[in-house]
Amino acid sequence: MNVAVIGTGYVGLGTAALLAHIGHTVTGIDISEEKIAMLQRAEVPIHEPGLDALLASVQSRLTWTTSYDAVAAADVVFICVGTPPGPDGTPDLQYVVSAAASIAPHLNGHTQVIVNKSTVPIGTGDYVTRLLEENSVTFHAERHAVVSNPEFLREGTALHDSLYPDRIVLGGSPDAVAHMTRLYAPLIEQTFVAPASAPRPETYTRPAVVKTTLQSAEMIKYAANAFLALKISFANEIAGLSERVGADIEEVMTGIGMDTRIGSRFLNAGLGWGGSCFGKDTQGLISAGREHNYDMPILQAAVTVNYRQRQDVLQKLIRQLRTLKGKRIGVLGMAFKPDTDDLRDAPAHDLIERLHGLGATVVAHDPIAMPRASREWAHLTYHEAGSVEQVFDRADAIIVATEWTDYRTLDWNALTPRMRRPLIIDARNIIRNPIDAQVEQIGRDAPAAEEFTMDTSL
């Protein structure tokens, strides 16, 4: 099929690469001339492992443009634009509205499916249908249908999640969903050749296909992210109590994660979630409940616990240093998670802002995200470290804010002598062996000489 993808962010680029790889002809559209120029030069504007190689391998089936003219020839049009939270937590749909209004004049006489890939509030599918109808003289309800096809990608593993998904959710009319099933047939049947950058797992067979209504598909996306956010906040809340009663949060989460009703994923205590999804989508559900006069106290508590975690990490620092005025604090990690340069709602942002406000000098480092931070965090006051060693130089304390592999494998004992005071606030629990420094972790004591190993043989 001919496919148009509106938006060249994480979702749009991943969608374009996936569809081109499984055999479709794809045109990527973005209003940013800078982004399109980069893509036309075969430069990828985001960091996602393996994405550059995959895009390069399908160049013959990919075109990049700022013009919506390609919509006229498309069988399927994906809307993959941002829906950032507004001041009250309600998703801002201005980019979705703009995309739909720009698509509408280019609709033609053949069957075309418009796909909401963006995370949108329940009811947006119907709203987009009305926008198309109002802005197109050729709109016809039997030929032009809107489908909700939410993404479930994790930044850092987006290629794997795109090519080998747990499930594909398709919400819309039966005819439109059937059209999408044909589009995704090579993905559903797994008949495509796996790229070298993302080999097919040996145990993987094929994804489940969930066919449902527009409203249910939109709710599935929000509910899934909110539940994962809740699991992380639950782990962090239990971590706080574990510290006070002498329990080890990792032992506790290992024990409960073995219960198949619970599962072990998303139970890692630490600095809390960040990124573009969990906070926004959880707040989106809360605001939807508010619109319908329905309180959602569990989700509100998950949000409260998550952002409290950032303050708790600072309190650990203050308990040790008493005052931060005149202190030099190193921050290891700026991206909200490893293997991405995404800085949206990154915990490190709040730490840097608060540390500076308390009078500290902040030196920050990230293996990938520093160039992007210099643009997007220009409002913050901190020093960029050209190397990890510079973070440790004369530091009164170090905070581990992102669990990059580069930091997991550091020779800590070689670096801590550079510090004025060897104090490490390991907010991601990555230090696994004793080091020559005072270490504070989340929900557990610092590593002892003999590491704990749970016996699961009984």
Residues 6 or more apart whose CB falls under 8 angstroms from that of 83 comprise 91, 92, 93, 95, 96, 118, 119, 120, 280
How far apart (Å, rounded) are the C-alpha atoms in residues 334 and 372? 10
* 23 marked as part of a ligand binding site: no
Please tell me the predicted confidence (pLDDT) of residue 120.
Answer: 85
**Cα–Cα distance measured from residue 151 to residue 158, given in angstroms and rounded to the nearest whole number:** 10
Identify the bridge partners of residue 27 per DSSP, sorted by sequence position.
4, 63
Supply the pLDDT for residue 448. Answer: 60
Residue 201 tokens, joined: 């797992």
Q: What is the reported pTM?
A: 0.88
Question: How much is the pLDDT for 451?
Answer: 45
CB 196 within 8 A of CB 53: yes
Which DSSP letter does residue 294 get?
-
Residue 253 sits at φ, ψ, to 5 deg, of -70, -35
The rounded distance, in Å, linking the Cα atoms of 264 and 258 is 6
**Contacting residues for 74 by C-beta, under 8 A, at least 6 apart:** 2, 3, 4, 27, 112
* All structural domains of the chain: 2-211 (3.40.50.720), 237-441 (3.40.50.720)
Angle at 10 between CA 212 and CA 77, to 5 degrees: 50
Closest CA to 309 of 287, 278, 339, 330: 278
What pLDDT is recorded for position 454?
47
Indicate if 277 belongs to the active site.
yes
The verdict on whether residue 119 carries a ligand-binding annotation is: yes
Block mean pLDDT (10 aa), the chain, length 458: 96 95 97 95 92 94 96 97 83 92 92 92 91 91 93 89 95 96 97 93 95 95 93 95 94 95 92 86 89 93 94 95 96 96 95 97 97 96 97 97 96 96 96 93 76 46
Dihedral, CA of residue 372, residue 376, residue 379 and residue 381, to nearest 10? -20
Residues 335, 368 contacting (CB under 8 angstroms): yes
Q: Is 266 annotated as a binding residue?
A: yes
Burial of 226 (C-beta count, 10 Å sphere; 0-12/13-18/19+): buried
Residues 80 and 65: their CA atoms lie apart, in Å, by 15
Contact status, residue 23 vs residue 131, Cβ threshold 8 Å? no
| Count of CA atoms in the C-beta half-sphere (13 A) of 194 | 16
- The burial class, CB within 10 Å (0-12 / 13-18 / 19+), for 205 is exposed
Pair of tokens at residue 187: 């993905």
What's the residue count for the chain? 458
> Measured in Å, how far apart are the chain's first and last C-alpha atoms?
54
Is 211 among the annotated ligand-binding positions?
no
pLDDT of residue 141: 87
Q: Is 152 annotated as a binding residue?
A: yes
Give the separation between CA 445 and CA 448, rounded to whole angstroms.
8
CB 291 within 8 A of CB 324: no
Catalytic residue among 70, 277, 331, 430: 277
Alpha-carbon gap, residue 418 to 62, rounded angstroms:
50
> Which helix (H) or strand (E) segment is 28 a member of?
strand 25-29
Query: Residue 130, annotated ligand binder?
Result: no
79, 93 contact by CB (below 8 A): no
Q: Between vectors from CA 355 to CA 353 and to CA 359, what angle results, nearest 5°?
A: 115
